[in-house]
Amino acid sequence: MTDAADHATAPPRAAPRKNIFRTLEIDTRLLGMIGAFVVLCIVFDLVADGRFLTPRNIFNLTIQTVSVAIMATGMVFVIVTRNIDLSVGSLLAVCSAVMAMMQTVILPDWLGLGLGHPAIWLVSIVVGLVVGTAIGAFQGFLVGYLTIPAFIVTLGGLLVWRNVAWYLTAGQTIGPLDATFMKFGGINGTLGETLSWAAAAIAVAGTIAMILSNRRAKVAHGFPVKPLWAEGLLALIATGAIVGFVAILNAYELPSGRIRRIFELRGEAVPDGFTMAYGLPISVLVLIVIAVVMTVVARRTRLGRYIFATGGNPDAAELSGINTRLLTVKVFAIMGALCALSAVVASARLANHSNDIGTLDELRVIAAAVIGGTALSGGIGTIYGAILGALIMQSLQSGMAMVGVDAPFQNIVVGVVLVLAVLIDIQYRRKTGAK
């Protein structure tokens, strides 16, 4: 009785003070990854005598990251559902081979579409997407309905699809590819300075609209919301990141010789002091669109909820009515479609299809997803984390190549970083109580 009285008269406990990161609801693990990325860039820039953080190198770094980053967004879904896909590099190769043969043999010779026909690039991409999605769905069927372990199915796919690509091209390098198709590779296709700023303005407006929409939704459902100053600070940070990124890309100017050739094709002379900027690569724009779509799927759709529920507890998900077998087919089909899109970017950047395209990409993609925080035990993963993981890996390899590190030692470093990233992630989850 006395205890109850004492409890009733005791002064209320003060609410625990929140630090700025809790107030902003920022994932501290993501913040740590960004910090590690920044430190990595600064170190490489110092060692490389200021050559790493130049607009030219940042431009090249972004277009080199796109192919792996696109596949890493799909690998998040695969790993979250407690599966693995070792065939993504080979699947990229077979999709690249199909699209290359469509552009150089099937459409021009069999269907009579001349070189440069406006339908060639579009038909080739559609066929590549169909092939990639079909192969992914087939592998998902073997895993989901025939209950063959994903490791075995995709290990077989790693061996099968790359050699199918070899037979499709008779082991030859196929090119040159369609000029419009090659614009998806990066260097041959950019928005230019004006359109890049327009894209930045759209991105800023979309980011602010998303923040306001999330706030209104929380208020409407009675959930706690961040202070207005915190929302404004997040919007300011996002705006600064978008504008800064586009400003760096716009600072990379076309060589004078290329500008001269452009004006010669127009039959004009180059004005004195005239310059042109590359701007935002189309391939990076494709990655941004895919990242937004995959994030919306993960957070706002029934499919996304089913994927994470299945990864968290497959038995409970099945008992709750989720068709986990069909879900597995869908996840692998999405992975196949993203491999086809990556094949577009990779082959367009090289301007041809080669037999070694996508070699070891399966390891890079899995590493990017894991470094980005996707738990191999399933149920946990983010799209933005996988993209950041791909960027960190590419920065690490590019920086080591720039300072003259041998390729074998580069692979050793990447392997060590992967193991350390998993170890740090395990320790972080134990400390925070996350599963």
From 280, 296, 319, give the residue that closes a domain.
280
pLDDT above 60 (res 364): yes
Residue 201 belongs to some domain of the structure: yes
Instruction: Give Dmax (Cα) for the chain.
Output: 98
Residue 317 belongs to some domain of the structure: yes
Residue range 231-242: average pLDDT? 89
From 280, 308, 336, give the residue that closes a domain.
280
- Answer yes or no: do 148 and 196 share one domain: no
**Contacts by 257-266, CB closer than 8 A, 24 or more apart:** none
Counted domains in the chain: 2
Cis ω before 176 (30° cut-off from 0): yes
How wide is the angle at C-alpha 116 spanned by C-alphas 124 and 113, nearest 5°? 65
| pLDDT (tens digit per residue) in 314-330 | 989 998 999 999 999 99
- Answer yes or no: do 155 and 202 share one domain: no
pLDDT computed for residue 136 by the predictor: 97
- Answer yes or no: do 207 and 171 share one domain: no
Residues of the domain holding 254: 190-280
Query: Residue 151: enclosing H or E segment and its boundaries?
Result: helix 150-169
Residue 19 belongs to some domain of the structure: no
Query: Residue 257: enclosing H or E segment and its boundaries?
Result: helix 256-266
- Answer yes or no: do 267 and 287 share one domain: no
Residue 10 belongs to some domain of the structure: no
Instruction: State the amino acid at position 408 in one-letter form.
Output: P
- Answer yes or no: do 307 and 343 share one domain: yes
- Which CATH number characterizes residue 360's domain? 1.10.3470
Q: Which of 123, 136, 134, 130 is nearest to 71 (CA)?
A: 136
From 280, 298, 331, give the residue that closes a domain.
280
- Answer yes or no: do 204 and 130 share one domain: no
Cβ pair 307, 331 in contact under 8 A: yes
| pLDDT (tens digit per residue) in 263-294 | 777 777 778 777 888 899 999 999 999 999 99
Cβ pair 36, 392 in contact under 8 A: yes
- Answer yes or no: do 30 and 161 share one domain: yes
Residue 7 belongs to some domain of the structure: no
- Answer yes or no: do 357 and 262 share one domain: no
pLDDT computed for residue 8 by the predictor: 46
pLDDT computed for residue 164 by the predictor: 95
- Answer yes or no: do 285 and 275 share one domain: no
Residue range 296-304: average pLDDT? 93
- Answer yes or no: do 169 and 217 share one domain: no
Whole-angstrom distance, CA of residue 68 vs CA of residue 300 = 25
- Answer yes or no: do 243 and 287 share one domain: no
Alpha helix ranges (H) inside 10-119: 20-24, 28-47, 55-80, 88-101
Instruction: State the amino acid at position 25 in one-letter form.
Output: E
Q: How far apart, in Å, are the Cα atoms of 170 and each of 46, 174, 206, 210, 354?
A: 46, 10, 47, 49, 11
Query: Looking up tokens 């984390």, which residue turns up?
Result: 385
If phi over 0 gives left and psi between -120 and 50 gives alpha, with beta otherwise, what is residue 271?
beta
